[in-house]
Amino acid sequence: MAYGGATSGPAAPAAMKQVKLEKESELRIEVSVNTSLRLRLLNGTAEVFGTEMPPENWLIFPPRMKFAIFTWYGATIEMQDNTETDYVADETPMISYVNVHAVLEGRRNRAKASASDPADVSQGPRVIVVGPTDSGKSTLSRMLLSWAAKQGWKPTFVDLDIGQGSITLPGCIAATPIEMPIDPVEGIPLEMPLVYFYGHNTPTVNADLYRVLVKELAQILERQFTGNAESRAAGMIINTMGFIDGLGYDLLLHAIDTFQATVVLVMGQDKLCSMLKDVLKQKPNVDVVKLQKSGGVVSRNSKFRAIARNQRIREYFYGLSNDLSPHSSIANFSDLVIYRVGGGPQAPASALPIGAQPVADPMRLVPVNINRDLLNLVLAVSFAKEQDQILSSNIAGFIWITDIDIPRKKITYLAPSGGELPSKFLLMGSLTWIET
């Protein structure tokens, strides 16, 4: 496996230290804000987010990253002594997490065994991880995916967290098959993601659009599973937002129903667990399980989240280690068609004539005039070839608007690569980025 920043060369001159971990303990680390962190596994075995560390190889973790190194049998870690925080904890919920993995493994094996029977429509586990903000949902999802991949499965990862964006940029929902344990530094692989652009980091802007995109993604995956017994048996792990009250709770129930989840893992929230058990008790094929959140989970304020979103966008264009070379291009205004979805005041139905529909449809495509307001916006490039395909089409990639020349009617944008865009149809939300 290729690890981000892994190298077999000597460590750069810096203060180093060794940390000895006893069995079933973990080293919790917060990387400093301005400097990366080099470390390696000297002896024993250990894992990060469920992925085993390669022995003796230096790993480079970027600034601001928060993670834990866990060992089942004991290990010694050599690392630079320049972290924001690092400490060893011997009380972790890992036993309960790996027990969940064992149960899921049994269900996958049963689904695989029955796949040869054409009359049997058994499927592997469809696991949805729910809980409040900063409860460890993304970390648990990565562990379950990596453990499954280590056993030879190719589970599908579904990310519904538009505020964070584990697969691609924030403001999107996405899915991708996981074929190998996830690289602890570089994260989720991007070879074949299925991405839909919502365009905002909160569902309150247009909840109807969010529901439609979730349903569209679920239907595509359902069709893929129908024709692929291996993927169907491997199942899926679904990560969700930390928005669990009011509209957030309604959207959780919508996701559980839409993806036909069979296991609901609730991270450290008694009230949410009780509510879900009560509402899902009429579905005997759905198990609701409460799990303890790790003591290593760190609360992140709104400023940190904004910085993390900006970093995700930067990584898309420049790579985790600034090893990519994005391409600047110029297009005529007439070459591009930009839309946003929904918007505008919507009159209540009671104020309209009988039989009339509200003027503002939350799913309506609204053409956007190209002007200076687009500067620094990140736009999604649709795969659609016709306007009526835009809402149901997934995304080819993203561009960042760097200049608008009104007199010459030229637009300058940054793209991951040169050449023509896959489509002239672009989608606009509220995703912005200012390069620093």
pLDDT in tens, 116-162: 665 455 789 999 999 998 889 999 999 999 999 999 999 999 999 99
Query: Is residue 64 included in any domain, yes or no?
Result: yes
CA 180 to mean position of chain CA atoms: 17
Interatomic CA distance for residues 156 and 174, integer angstroms: 10
- Reference 123, options 152, 156, 145; nearest CA is 156
pLDDT band, residue 356 (cuts 50/70/90) = low
Q: Checking DSSP bridges between strand 75-80 and strand 287-291, what pairing results, if any? A: unpaired
- pLDDT tens-digit readout, 261-286: 999 999 988 999 999 999 999 888 89
- pLDDT tens-digit readout, 163-179: 988 899 999 999 999 99
Q: Per mean pLDDT, which range of 4-18, 57-71, 317-331, 338-352 is the poorest? A: 4-18
- Give the 3-state DSSP-derived string for the chain, with helices as H, strands as E and coil as C: CCCCCCECCCCCCCCEEEEEECCCEEEEEECCCCCCEEEEEEEECCEECCEECCECCEEEECCCCEEEEEECCCEEEEEECCCCEEEEECCCCHHHHHHHHHHHHHHHHHHHHHCCCCCCCCCCCEEEEECCCCCCHHHHHHHHHHHHHHCCCCCEEEECCCCCCCCCCCCEEEEEECCCCCECCCECCCCCCEEEECCCCCHHHCHHHHHHHHHHHHHHHHHHHHCCHHHHHHCEEEECCCCCCCHHHHHHHHHHHHCCCCEEEEECCHHHHHHHHHHHCCCCCCEEEEECCCCCCCCCCHHHHHHHHHHHHHHHHHCCCCCCCCEEEEEEHHHCEEEEECCCCCCCHHHCCCCCCCCCCCCCEEECCCCHHHCCEEEEEECCCCHHHCCCCCEEEEEEEEEEECCCCEEEEEECCCCCCCCCEEECCCCECCCC
Query: Is residue 304 included in any domain, yes or no?
Result: no
Interatomic CA distance for residues 153 and 184, integer angstroms: 19
pLDDT band, residue 14 (cuts 50/70/90) = low
Check pLDDT > 50 for residue 349.
Answer: yes
Considering the domain architecture, whether residues 100 and 186 belong to the same structural domain is answered as: yes
CB distance 427 to 199 below 8 Å: yes
Considering the domain architecture, whether residues 130 and 270 belong to the same structural domain is answered as: yes
CATH no. for residue 226? 3.40.50.300
Considering the domain architecture, whether residues 130 and 267 belong to the same structural domain is answered as: yes
Considering the domain architecture, whether residues 157 and 34 belong to the same structural domain is answered as: no
pTM: 0.90
For the beta sheet containing 85-89, the strands, ordered from the edge strand earlier in sequence to the opposite edge, are 51-52, 47-48, 66-71, 25-30, 85-89
Interatomic CA distance for residues 122 and 143, integer angstroms: 24
Query: Is residue 301 included in any domain, yes or no?
Result: no
Structural domain including 164 reads 94-291
Check pLDDT > 50 for residue 383.
Answer: yes
Considering the domain architecture, whether residues 109 and 82 belong to the same structural domain is answered as: no
Check pLDDT > 60 for residue 1.
Answer: no
Q: Using the 3D structure, point to which of 91, 113, 148 is the last residue of a domain.
A: 91
User: Looking at the 3D structure of the chain, how many domains does it have?
Assistant: 3
Considering the domain architecture, whether residues 115 and 224 belong to the same structural domain is answered as: yes
Interatomic CA distance for residues 390 and 139, integer angstroms: 33
Considering the domain architecture, whether residues 55 and 128 belong to the same structural domain is answered as: no
Q: Using the 3D structure, point to which of 73, 91, 109 is the last residue of a domain.
A: 91
Interatomic CA distance for residues 129 and 164, integer angstroms: 15
CATH no. for residue 55? 2.60.120.1030
Interatomic CA distance for residues 281 and 287, integer angstroms: 9
Query: Is residue 249 included in any domain, yes or no?
Result: yes
Query: Is residue 418 included in any domain, yes or no?
Result: yes
